[in-house]
């Protein structure tokens, strides 16, 4: 048993390492700042419009999310090792590609499409094998640890990116990152392995309700016929979009008051991002995913609304707000995979979470683009903050109404609601719920 436990933690640490490389996405604000300076200076290197500044980032988020669906299916059917290696190659090639061109379309293809696909394949492969090695009671914690790497990456990538850009320029920096991450992700992917077929952790059946949820496995089609899927999707779209809107522009906000030390805000937000994933995962193991989501959405709405009253010269308040925004945003990335596993099972977890994760991409595509348009029109981000805060409150209300399909089925049996749950899952759920009562 010790060997199996050690293998589980090895897989978890490999997934963490892969995400530490893939988290270069959250350093976009540093790259955008360099591109914007070139546009404003009119030096001819980046001939983009200011309204299109977030386009590569937005396309990357959207591609990332929808690539997760295909990557999840490949991961489920073949192996996480193979899928993650594809991700490493695509991310590396995307970054290397933009090292040789500053054209807008090149960044859309390289950073947006190639790197977005690579992120989807790598990210989809890191969490599923890790949580399969542990009991359901630790799903939130393990998911939080694995995805923490993605949030924490900016702690080292942001200052490294600034150092490299100052020394060799943006294009050569992309070349260095591309080669490094191709090698790192492909190497770590070899440690991602699923447990043997039929493996069940000895702690799994200590709680009968956990055992019941562990035996439920929805196909993608079955999942998409449940109200729970659409509620999770809407909440994820709002929560991710609001967070990514701030993350994508935080370096520009900080630079007005901190100059060359703006990377400190990016790094602190990354620390908040990573810690939010772990803490929310552990908390949701105790009080439930939906309850944790409600708390975090309310908190995020308040913090984003507070940005209306913080000026660039109020450095301490800006740092605190950025860290809290990173923390709250990070909670989503452990809560939604955990909820997907709890509600719909492990058998098709890869593709099911890919479908849920498409909400992240839609939110990441729409919110940063809309906010950039608002800023270009009004020369102020305040209306974007108000819009994000209001939508987050709406998401919190939906979170209060979100229940697992099994619970919804129990209510349907009592005559409260109607919910199409597959017959095999209905029969098992009712048997388990009666035994609990």
The enclosing domain of 329 has a CATH number of 1.20.1250.20
Residue 423 domain-assigned?
Answer: no
Residue 413 included in any domain: no
Per DSSP, the three-state class of 178 is helix
The answer to the question of residue 434 being in a domain is no
How many distinct structural domains can be found in the chain?
Answer: 1
**What are the DSSP calls for 320-332, one per residue?**
HHHHHHHHHHHHH
CA distances from 61 to 23, 67, 251, 414, 422 (A): 12, 10, 18, 42, 33
The first and second tokens of residue 360, run together, are 């992240």
Considering 20-29, 129-138, 159-168, 268-277, the range whose residues carry the highest mean pLDDT is 159-168
pLDDT band at 321 (very low <50, low <70, confident <90, very high): confident
Structural domain boundaries enclosing 112? 2-194+209-402
According to the model, what pLDDT value does residue 255 have?
61
Least confident range from 190-194, 388-392, 423-427: namely: 423-427
- Convert the pLDDT of each residue in 268-315 to its tens digit: 777 888 888 889 888 988 888 889 999 999 999 998 888 888 776 777
Report whether 107 contacts 56 (CB < 8 A): yes
Residue 176: Cβ within 10 Å count = 16
Candidate from 49-63, 284-298, 421-435 with smallest mean pLDDT: 421-435
For residue 395, being part of any structural domain is answered with: yes
User: Within 13 Å and on the Cβ side, how many CA atoms surround 192?
Assistant: 32
- Which two tokens mark 58? 């937005």
pLDDT at residue number 27: 82
- CA gap 119, 96 in Å, rounded: 15
Is the Cα dihedral 118, 332, 355, 433 positive or negative?
A: positive
Give the integer Cα–Cα distance in Å for 41 and 43. Answer: 5
Residues 34/168, Cβ–Cβ less than 8 Å? no
Direct distance between the N- and C-terminal alpha carbons of the chain, in angstroms, rounded to an integer: 33
Query: Residue 112 gets which letter from DSSP?
Result: I
- Residue 129 placed within a domain: yes
- Backbone angle region of 198, left / alpha / beta, with phi > 0 → left and psi within -120 to 50 → alpha: left
Query: From CA 437, how far away is CA 249, in angstroms rounded?
Result: 51
Q: What is the predicted pLDDT for the residue at 263?
A: 66
Ranges 44-58, 156-170, 194-208, 233-247, most confident: 156-170
Between CA 222 and CA 37 the distance in angstroms is 49
Q: Are the CB atoms for 193 and 81 separated by under 8 Å?
A: yes
Which of 34, 18, 14, 12 is closest to 252 using CA atoms? 34
Residue 429 in any domain: the answer is: no
Q: Cα–Cα distance between 31 and 339 in angstroms, integer?
A: 33
d(CA 234, CA 117): 23
Residue 421 maps to a domain? no
How wide is the angle at C-alpha 15 spanned by C-alphas 10 and 18, nearest 5°?
125
Contacts of 170 (CB under 8 A, 6+ apart): 31, 34, 35
Instruction: Name the pTM for this structure.
Output: 0.75
Give the model's confidence band at 419: pLDDT under 50 very low, under 70 low, under 90 confident, else very high.
Answer: very low
Portion of the chain with pLDDT greater than 90, in percent? 27
Identify the CA nearest to 243 among candidates 152, 325, 308: 325
Cα separations in angstroms, 94 against 24, 60, 63, 118: 12, 11, 13, 8
Q: How far apart are CA 228 and CA 3, in angstroms?
A: 37
**201, part of any domain:** no
Distance between CA atoms of residues 19 and 124, nearest Å: 10
HSE-CB of 202 using CA atoms within 13 angstroms:
4
């Amino acid at each position: 048993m010790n060997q199996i436990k050690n293998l589980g933690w090895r897989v978890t640490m490999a997934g963490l390492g892969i995400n530490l490389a893939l988290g270069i996405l959250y350093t976009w604000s540093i790259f955008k700042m360099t591109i914007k300076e070139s546009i404003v200076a009119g030096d001819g290197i980046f001939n983009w419009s200011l309204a299109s500044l977030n386009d590569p980032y937005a396309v990357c988020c959207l591609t990332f999310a929808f690539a997760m669906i295909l990557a999840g299916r490949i991961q489920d059917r073949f192996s996480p090792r193979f899928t993650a290696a594809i991700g490493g190659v695509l991310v590396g090639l995307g970054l290397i590609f933009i090292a040789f061109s500053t054209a807008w379309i090149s960044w859309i293809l390289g950073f947006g499409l190639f790197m977005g696909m690579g992120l989807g394949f790598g990210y989809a492969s890191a969490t599923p094998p890790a949580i399969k090695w542990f009991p359901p009671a630790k799903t939130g914690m393990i998911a939080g640890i694995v995805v923490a790497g993605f949030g924490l990456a900016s702690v080292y990538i942001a200052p490294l990116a600034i150092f490299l850009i100052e020394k060799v320029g943006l294009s050569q920096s992309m070349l260095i990152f591309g080669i490094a991450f191709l090698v790192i992700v492909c190497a770590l992917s070899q440690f991602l392995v699923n447990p043997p077929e039929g493996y069940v952790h000895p702690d799994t059946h200590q709680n009968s309700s956990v055992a019941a949820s562990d035996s439920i496995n929805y196909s993608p089609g079955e999942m998409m016929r449940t109200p729970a899927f659409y509620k999770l999707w809407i909440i994820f779209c709002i929560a991710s979009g609001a967070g990514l809107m701030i993350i994508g522009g935080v370096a520009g906000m900080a630079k007005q008051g901190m100059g060359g030390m703006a990377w400190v805000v990016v790094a602190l937000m990354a620390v908040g991002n990573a810690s939010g994933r772990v803490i929310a995962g552990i908390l949701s193991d105790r009080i439930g995913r939906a309850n944790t989501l409600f708390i975090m959405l309310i908190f995020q709405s308040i913090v984003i609304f507070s940005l209306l009253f913080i000026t660039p010269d109020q450095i301490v308040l800006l740092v605190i707000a950025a860290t809290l925004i990173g923390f709250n945003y990070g909670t989503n990335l452990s809560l939604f995979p955990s909820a997907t596993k709890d509600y719909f099972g492990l058998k098709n977890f890869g593709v099911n979470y890919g479908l849920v994760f498409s909400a992240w991409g839609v939110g990441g595509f729409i919110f940063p683009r809309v906010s950039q348009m608002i800023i270009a029109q009004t020369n102020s981000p305040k209306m974007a903050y108000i819009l994000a805060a209001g939508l987050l409150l709406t998401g919190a209300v939906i979170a209060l109404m979100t229940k697992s399909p099994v619970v919804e089925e129990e209510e349907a049996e009592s005559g409260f609601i109607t919910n199409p749950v597959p017959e095999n899952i209905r029969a098992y759920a009712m048997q388990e719920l009666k035994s609990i009562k």
